[in-house]
Amino acid sequence: IQLTQSPSSLSASVGDRVTITCRASQGISSYLAWYQQKPGKAPKLLIYAASTLQSDVPSRFSGSGSGTDFTLAISSLQPEDFATYYCQQHNTYPLTFGGGTKVEIK
Amino acid sequence: EVQLVESGGGFVQPGGSLRLSCAASGFTLSDYYMDWVRQAPGKGLEWVGRIRNKARGYTTEYAASVRGRFIVSGIDSKNSLYLQMNSLETEDTAVYYCARVIDGTTWVDDAFDIWGQGTMVTVSS
């Protein structure tokens, strides 16, 4: 299953609402996760099962979608949110990741 | 504290072998599904393979790109798991992460909640 993220990069300001989309090449029910990765660090789980917020993740992050189209939203971008975000399907083997979306400071 | 620490990375020539280790603390590895994920320099994330927990007989799954060359071996008394990498290719150059699955027995919870810091593998002549 191929996952296509868009955009591949975006520039935004602190306080902006940001949305990132992930499209699957076939239906994956609600089995999609989102990760945040900062340079030189391991990825961090934000959301799984499309909309379940991982513990200790701020509520400004939210996920939605099912089937083939999914969205990660950040309601009010904070300085610590500038990073690369990846989606990952956990519906079938082989597990696959999207190509990533880099969120940069405008 | 729940933690994973990888080790064993390094420089190896094409065709060579390397074994990575992933040591867990704060939880019992044998209770969880555990995966390896890699990231080539400047690239995205790629799933490598999985070992299921003791209750599921430590069975494994692999990405097509490594099947037949890599082996995720069983979890031992050191609370560690291993990735044996054989017939290495330049395309295997990457940071290798081990990651814990929340609950691999159901697809709903099949996401990676704990990651190690990663270990770099460089394959070059």
Q: Could you report the per-residue pLDDT of B54-106, keeping only the tens digit for each?
A: 999 999 999 999 999 999 997 778 899 999 999 999 999 999 999 999 988 88
> Averaged over B26-41, what is the pLDDT?
96
Taking CB atoms and an 8 Å cutoff, what residues of chain B touch A35?
A: 45, 112
- What pLDDT score does B60 carry? 96
Tokens linked to B80: 């560690």
Taking CB atoms and an 8 Å cutoff, what residues of chain A touch B62?
A: 94
| Structure confidence by residue, pLDDT tens digits, A59-68 | 999 999 999 9
Between chain A and chain B, how many beta carbons pairs sit less than 8 Å apart? 61
Contact B47 A45 (CB under 8 A): no
Q: Give the residue numbers in B contacting A (CB under 8 Å), as ranges.
A: 35, 37, 44-47, 50, 61-64, 97, 102, 107-113, 115-118
- What's phi and psi for B16, nearest 5 deg? -85, 180
For residue B17, count other CB atoms closer than 10 A to its CB: 11
Q: What average pLDDT is seen over chain B?
A: 95
Contacts of B60 (CB under 8 A, 6+ apart): B49, B50, B51, B52, B71, B72
